């Protein structure tokens, strides 16, 4: 076996590997995932999108002139993650008869190039259904960061607190929505999440949430207890695409939700979820997707308790940048 740079000539074989991986996920764990990516031509489109990214880099694992695994990622730089690398959901797959150890071998070659280019924060999207593949990534020093979950709308919601009134936001709610906009940011900056919330971004959050009132596709639901707005959830149509292997047709996205601290544990989020999903079902949706930080204790418990099944995990690894000069020689 040898490792070489991934090229256009590898895309067809890579598409076959990805289609088989997706078929396994659907047949073994998640039949709700879009079936079209079991077809090589659709899997090929997903890989082409990744490979055509101007910042992409890929590794191909070859055995007897045959592709048995690939890994494609791209380097980006921004304020939150600094210089970092993304390996997206379609960004890696191996042959059905290959050991999951091949993921570790591919990453060893891939990471070497990323570090040489100054990328020390690595992120990968991994299917939830293959425990052995997940373990391979965890044994590379990666850790869970984000859970991507999906819910069948035919499943009923827990009993709802009738004291919580739910309605859609309107212009008169602008001021209160701006106040609520930073609840999640502030909550996730605390232990045990420790996700940075930059104070200079508060106004952008507030403006963005206020704009949802007039959004033509999104629905902003408010929870009211004793005439006070105590929580919200935002639902929007989930977009499918030629590169999105996770979102099925007829799926709505629960974009964000939050409850003020003094009202948590009182059924506010459950009431919001019940109304949001009931409305979505009446509109013809069959599934709902959302995602949450695995270190957010409240979110992890709530979404799992209310029928959301993990379909993918975002894993992360931070490499000590001193390795550029502290090489032991």
CB 6 within 8 A of CB 285: no
Q: Where are the beta strands (DSSP E) in 14-142?
A: 56-63, 66-78, 82-87, 92-94, 121-127
**Residue whose entry in the numeric block shows the structure tokens 């999104």:** 218
Task: Identify whether 142 is part of a domain.
Answer: yes
Whether 163 and 294 map to the same domain: the answer is: yes
Number of domain units in the chain: 2
CB 250 within 8 A of CB 139: no
pLDDT 10s digit of each residue in the chain, 329 long? 999 999 999 999 999 999 999 999 999 999 999 999 999 999 999 999 999 988 999 999 999 999 999 999 999 999 889 999 999 999 999 999 999 999 999 999 999 999 999 999 999 999 999 999 999 999 999 999 999 999 999 987 777 888 999 999 999 999 999 999 999 999 999 999 999 999 999 999 899 999 999 999 999 999 999 999 999 999 999 999 999 999 999 999 999 999 999 999 999 999 999 999 999 999 999 999 999 999 999 999 999 999 999 999 999 999 999 999 998 88
Whether 124 and 38 map to the same domain: the answer is: yes
**Can you give the pTM of this predicted structure?**
0.95
* CATH code of the domain covering residue 27: 3.40.630.30
Whether 31 and 136 map to the same domain: the answer is: yes
CB 21 within 8 A of CB 46: no
Considering only CA atoms, which of 237, 226, 223 is closest in space to residue 274?
223
Whether 69 and 201 map to the same domain: the answer is: no
How distant, in Å, are the alpha carbons of 13, 94, 146, 232 from that of 59?
A: 13, 12, 25, 44
User: Which domain, by its residues, includes 239?
Assistant: 156-306
Task: Identify whether 329 is part of a domain.
Answer: no
CB 31 within 8 A of CB 37: no
Task: Identify whether 264 is part of a domain.
Answer: yes
């Amino acid at each position: 076996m040898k490792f070489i740079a991934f090229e256009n000539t590898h895309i067809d074989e890579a598409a076959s590997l990805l289609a088989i991986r997706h078929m396994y996920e659907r047949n073994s764990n998640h039949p709700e995932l879009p079936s079209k990516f079991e077809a090589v031509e659709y899997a090929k489109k997903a890989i082409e999108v990744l490979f055509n990214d101007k910042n992409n880099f890929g590794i191909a694992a070859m055995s007897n002139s045959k592709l048995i695994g690939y890994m494609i990622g791209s380097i980006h730089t921004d304020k939150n993650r600094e210089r970092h690398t993304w390996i997206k959901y379609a960004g890696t797959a191996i042959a059905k008869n290959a050991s999951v150890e091949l993921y570790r071998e591919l990453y060893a070659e891939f990471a070497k190039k990323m570090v040489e280019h100054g990328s020390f924060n690595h992120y990968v999207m991994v299917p939830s259904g293959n425990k052995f593949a997940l373990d391979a990534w965890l044994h590379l020093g990666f850790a869970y960061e984000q859970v991507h979950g999906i819910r069948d709308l035919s499943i009923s919601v827990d009993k709802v607190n009738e004291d919580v009134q739910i309605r859609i936001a309107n212009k008169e709610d602008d001021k209160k929505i701006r106040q609520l906009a930073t609840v999640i940011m502030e909550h996730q900056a605390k232990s045990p999440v420790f996700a940075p919330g930059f104070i200079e971004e508060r106004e952008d959050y507030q403006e963005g949430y206020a704009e949802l009132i007039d959004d033509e596709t999104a629905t902003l639901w408010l929870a009211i207890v004793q005439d006070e707005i105590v929580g919200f959830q935002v639902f929007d149509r989930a977009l499918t695409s030629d590169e999105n292997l996770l979102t099925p047709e007829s799926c709505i996205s629960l974009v964000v939700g939050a409850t003020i601290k003094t009202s948590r544990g009182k059924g506010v989020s459950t009431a919001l979820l019940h109304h949001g999903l009931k409305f979505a079902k009446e509109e013809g949706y069959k599934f709902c997707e959302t995602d949450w930080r695995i270190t957010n204790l409240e979110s992890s418990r709530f979404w799992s308790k209310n029928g959301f099944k993990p379909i993918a995990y975002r894993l992360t690894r931070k490499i000590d940048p001193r390795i550029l000069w502290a090489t032991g020689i």
